[in-house]
Structure 1
């Protein structure tokens, strides 16, 4: 006996239980239901006609007959949420003392047993170019709406496995939130239950996960910045790269040492000359004066591979001069050979988005809906700076191009184009020369994984479609369709056979040195003229004063 003050718990009615289970989707997988009854099956089905006992439901009816000595076991489900009629599967008959006298071959996984559906479902396709509707299966213009063309074939094959007829609706966008927080495009149709399955894969975004179900990754496609590696001379000073720092120091040390050696030898020659007779002096007149400036000019001329206007008289002096010229000649030959090789070398210094942002390479983006969305809404500092400084600078026209125009600019060099790689490489393989396909660099911009195929949230076809898509992948059909549409990155077949012309950028430092030398010589020339005409009288006056 319970105390009088303890409240009595009211037991819910059968109608309340059914309503609660239906609203909380307790009839769907992975829950299992067993209902024992002795009423006619038609009566039970009529009572349950408004419930969502759908394709993935494991709902068992056990009819008790003949004073509980015989049980008839059935499974019921609806093919579609709008159906009022139940499909009945006879699972078996059990009798006391005999066990199962009739038993079906059904497995414990209900969705595997329900294949021949014969129903109509709605699918949503994303088409960004209207002409793609005419070429969804003929592999024409594979670079346009590539992901839709792959998914369309796979979804049709999936539907044929389960005898499903698909009615397609066309959207021009994958779906994003507008100002009223409502979803557009394919996302809007899935969330409003206007479509049962998305016919085009879409990216996994945080705000989408709670609204739809992702079931399989069909097309492993990526969008990246692709560009031809710039010349090494474009990002570095090639005239300082041929030699290591120790070699440069050794070269300057040789020049300095030989300068002082020649200076000592010339001084020795002049000291020896003073001991000879006047006749011997005239016959063996030495043009190289005993001057540090003249010696520096000789060594500098050797360093620049120029001939010397005067040479030492003695044998030791000439041997030293010869050693200087020969050693610097070998260094000059090695240096020139390295310069030629470096001028034909590409640079791999641009490896990250930050490198691309700091470089002088302009960028462009494929003019697609999702590129406009992801570039304009990115918040990561480097990506945001790249968008504001190079993609869409304030006050200038945004650099969004058609994929054909972007690849054309990329071929001309010094241009990074953000594109779907599978579609873009198709144009690259058709328009680039073999040597131009070498040195293509990729940088990831979008912070998303590969796109996945999606269906309605809590769809009863979820497990069924997962199994079907796995079968398609295991049989190699999915890979085949991807290979037919997407083009892989071209291989470099003739990297060393191309001829690279040298431009002004390659010779920039040499031109700066040449112009600096010309300017310096012109300034010295002006100073000499000024000194000759304006300082000649004071000089003569000082010489006269010294003589007195």
Structure 2
């Protein structure tokens, strides 16, 4: 119908033009004898009556098929009016008039969207382009015809609009397969060109609203907001290994921590030996009778104390002197910062596979030449860089325009394939970037958006349907229909979201190394226990069994939960079976020889082990009656290895024999004798 109407209008204009020329020639013939002259385009000679004819044409006034015909001094038609018609179910009817001198005058207001019949039962020609997920061919499109061959976001939106505005449509793919750019002679290609030439009534696709396009066509309200983004392939760093829990610190930091531990241990041992306040009497209740001083910081304890502080577990060894407390405080402050820093960085190194991307923003992309980058040829993104006045974007356009071979691609699929298979970054709309990243896990977005713009429905200039489509799009947005359609076509990709990566639990590939450390530590402990067992047997003369038999006997007792421990006396004593002695005697002997320092603490001062237990208990009770409150402190001596004899005047004597022990065995807190 519209094509027929356009044909009738062209015929009427042609009739009026011929009529105007005939009228001008008739007036010219009255004053001059008009004759035909043979002319050549290569000759500078002109028709002698040409200027006069142009003057008579400007003076022509008549009523033609297209209304009043009159021209101004410049030869342009003037003083004419255009009727504004509305297509309704009753046919065309005039709703207004536009006069070249008086302007627009409407006879009635345009009806609202709910009662409109402008588009009622009208068939519109839709031009579009194949672009996922906006317009796509169905898998079985060969078996279908017409509009049913296509699917996608724009197709569903077009159905929603057709249901609201009650119109029909016919979809045609654009001939040259581009969105539309301006040529050197002012012509336009693609969908924009078809709208300008009136070959299509609407352009429904991912058509970006730009100022240059707005000059030649009209756009509806934007149905989607987006921006230009950078697509690049994912560069994953090395996957976390079994010992990735060591990654929060560099190897140099671990080495210096080990050196710091050794230095603190040595300084602690030296300071504890130098200060007199770390040498003390373990039996304050027996002053005058116990002439020994003890230092808890042996070489082994000096190396164990920093370990307990570093592992945040503490130790039963407490510093007494100001100097040793200073060393301990500094070490604890050091471990506080180290452990806090390690804990803060551990989660990131174990749960996140860090990406090693050579570019992180558009500035990084513009400042290098190793990575090629480009965009779709003939699209709005290319126009954005071509017309931009921003220095960075100008430099990027110069690079893209001069690069050979060309960095421009014909379609988004070609650009993505180039990103995956080569060192190439593709510049495209963020919505397309999001869609393809959901379906290809090897793609990622670099940086943020370069600009902000929107997609709109294209129409010819002055389209009477513009307001109605604007209202219909706003209605779809208010009803969240466009958001529902976007989720329908964008979601459902196979690639997990970034939140899923952060919430993923740790696997054995992340923290398996700490289990290896645990197993190795247990094996080393077992090996050291075997060595200690063998060393003790070698230092004990008069053993009746071999080392293997003795170890097998001990293991058998452990498995059977039997007391298979044989009481051993170091340095020249013989081994005694526990069942060959009375219970009190076994306890006394065990208390006399089972100290960790290997010294005799109870029976070495002349008190016979055969003294009845009741007699010794009575002596301890007498000490308690005298008000001795330190009677239960004696278990400390189990931890002390450094012993120093007291001089008669109360000072320590380095040359005293370690056999000057308290003359009275003591009752320990666990009920054993010391």
Shorter-chain TM range is 0.3 to 0.5
Which structure: larger Rg? 2
